[in-house]
Chain A
Amino acid sequence: SYVLTQPPSVSVAPGQTARITCGGNNIGYKSVHWYQQKPGQAPVLVVSDDSDRPSGIPERLSGTNSENTATLTISRVEAGDEADYYCQVWDSISDCLVFGGGTKLTVL
């Protein structure tokens, strides 16, 4: 089955830029979605189809996808960005919707 690899944790100071990666074989050919999950809450879709932001998601969050790595970038990080972030794709070979293992973003 298709595997998505995320770093378990990323730490960044307020005002800096956080980059959260999602690795997968030829992931650049897939549509990648990103979710933010705060403690005790359901995930929230923050980036769809590699780089589209749903309504209400700040422009500080952006996504890219190329070759074997998709990246969620959070600019001018705020304390409120502290959360777990998950990437997700559809794998047509295994007919399975796959999530990455998640990355905990800590704002120092």
Chain B
Amino acid sequence: QLQLRESGPGLVKPSETLSLTCTVSGGSISTSSYYWGWIRQTPGKGLEWIGSINYSGSTYYNPSLKSRVTISVDTSKNHFSLNLSSLTAADTAVFYCARRTGLLSFDYWGQGTLVTVSS
């Protein structure tokens, strides 16, 4: 059974850069059939797609966040990572990683990790 798990700091200061990693187990990240993505959910609100990457490093990002986002992949560690820069309180959210199918849906999700931006 495929599992995804997010890891990273729970608290980050304003103006700093958030770094999160999603470790994939029960399957290989090095498959051409899927992309891997990051989605966030602000407290009490809806879902927002951040960006996605495939095993070869091809990326695409939400245009509204593109200037602050970098997603990378490390196939040797079977994980992919998110960097989000210039943080403000508005970036406080639960961050999920997920597997994106060829139909552009997300069929496997991590449990999510809460990141709070505060001094």
Nearest-neighbor residue (CB-CB) of B50 within chain A? A97
Given contacts A42-B109, A43-B106, whether A97 and B49 have CB atoms under 8 Å apart is yes
Neighbouring B residues of A41 by C-beta, 8 Å: 111
**Which segment, of A12-20, A64-72, A87-95, faces chain B?**
A87-95
- Judge whether A54 and B107 touch: CB under 8 Å: yes
For window 1-49 of chain A, which residues contact chain B by CB distance below 8 Å?
A: 1, 31, 33, 35, 41-45, 48-49
* Residue B55 CB within 8 A of the other chain: no
| Max chain B Cβ within 10 angstroms of own Cβ: one of A41, A42, A43, A86 | A42
Counting chain B residues whose Cβ lies within 8 A of the other chain, the interface size class is: 20 to 34
- Judge whether A96 and B62 touch: CB under 8 Å: yes
* Residue B89 CB within 8 A of the other chain: no
In the bound assembly, the distance between CA atoms of A100 and B47 in angstroms comes to 8
Neighbouring A residues of B105 by C-beta, 8 Å: 33, 45, 48-49, 88
Q: 14 other contacts beyond A45-B105, A45-B106, A96-B63, with CB at 8 A cut-off?
A: A1-B64, A33-B104, A42-B96, A42-B109, A43-B106, A43-B109, A54-B107, A86-B46, A88-B47, A88-B105, A95-B60, A97-B52, A97-B62, A99-B49
- Pick from A54, A90, A95, A102: contact of B63, CB under 8 Å: A95
- Judge whether B109 and A102 touch: CB under 8 Å: no
Neighbouring B residues of A31 by C-beta, 8 Å: 103-104
**Which residues of A line the B interface, CB within 8 A?**
1, 31, 33, 35, 41-45, 48-49, 54, 86, 88-90, 94-102
- Judge whether A101 and B109 touch: CB under 8 Å: no
Nearest-neighbor residue (CB-CB) of A45 within chain B? B107
* Residue B101 CB within 8 A of the other chain: yes
1/0 per position for B101-119, CB-CB distance to A under 8 A?
A: 1011111011110000000
* Residue B16 CB within 8 A of the other chain: no
In the bound assembly, the distance between CA atoms of A49 and B47 in angstroms comes to 19
Neighbouring A residues of B104 by C-beta, 8 Å: 31, 33, 89-90, 97
